Amino acid sequence: MSKTVHVAVYDTYADWELGYVTAGINRPLMQREPGAWQIRTVGATTAPITSMGGLRVVPDLTLDQLTPEDSAMLILPGADIWEGEQLLPFARAAQDFLAAGVPVAAICGATYGLAAQGLLDSRPHTSNAAEYLVPTGYSGAAQYRDEPAVTDGDLITASGIAPIDFARHVFARLDLFDPAVLDAWYRLYAERDPQGFYDLQAQGAESA
C-alpha cells in the first residue's frame, strides 16, 4: 500500500480545514510507522495557487499525473469555487479513486462537488448542512447524517467547522496511530482535556 496521501489544492482552498490532517500525517512522532508517510499536493497545473488565508502553494504534481494506485488517500478541502464547474476534474478524480477502492476525504465545499458528481447518492455522508447540498440536485438526501464527520467505507465527509473530527476520521481510516494515541489526541484537541496531553506523553508521543 502506498504511504503517500495526496492533498488537492486550488485557489481559495480553505487552509484551516487541513491543518490538523497535514500536521498529523507529516509529523512522525505519534505514528505506528514513523517516517513512512508523506503528503504531496495536487493541482490542476503546477502554477502556484493561493489559499483562502493567502498562503501560496506550488503543487507537487498535476491532476493528470495522479493515479489511485500510487496513493493512500485523496483529500479534498473546501473552496469558494466548488459550487461552479471549475473543480469538476477533482470530483471526477474522487470518483476514480472510489471506483479503485482508494479512500477519499472531502470537507466543506468539496462535499458539494461530490454530491453534484453523484457520489453521495447512496452513501451515508455529511456536509455543512443538509440544505447546503440540495442545489446539487443529488438524490442522496435520505443518506445525510447530521454529524461533524462521517466515514462510509472509503469515503469520509465532514462539515467545514469540524476540522478536528475530520482529521480523526482520516487518521483512523489510514490506521496512522494506535487507538490509544488517537483517543488521547482527540481528547486533547477536540475536548480540551489536559489529561489527553499527559496520556500522549505517557505513551511516548508528543502532542505538538
Per 3-state DSSP, what percentage of the chain is helix, strand, and coil (rounded to 5)? Answer: 40, 20, 45
Nearest-10 crossing angle of helices 194-202, 179-189: 150
- Please classify residue 1 by burial: count the beta carbons closer than 10 Å to its beta carbon, then call 0-12 exposed, 13-18 middle and 19+ buried: exposed
Yes or no: say if 100 and 68 are a contact pair by the CB < 8 Å rule: yes
Look at residue 40 and give its three-state secondary structure: strand
Q: Which residue's C-alpha cell is 456536509?
A: 127
Active site residue 156: no
Bridge partners of 75? Answer: 7, 105
| From 8, 9, 94, 108, the catalytic residue | 108
Yes or no: say if 37 and 1 are a contact pair by the CB < 8 Å rule: no
Which active-site residues does the annotation give?
108
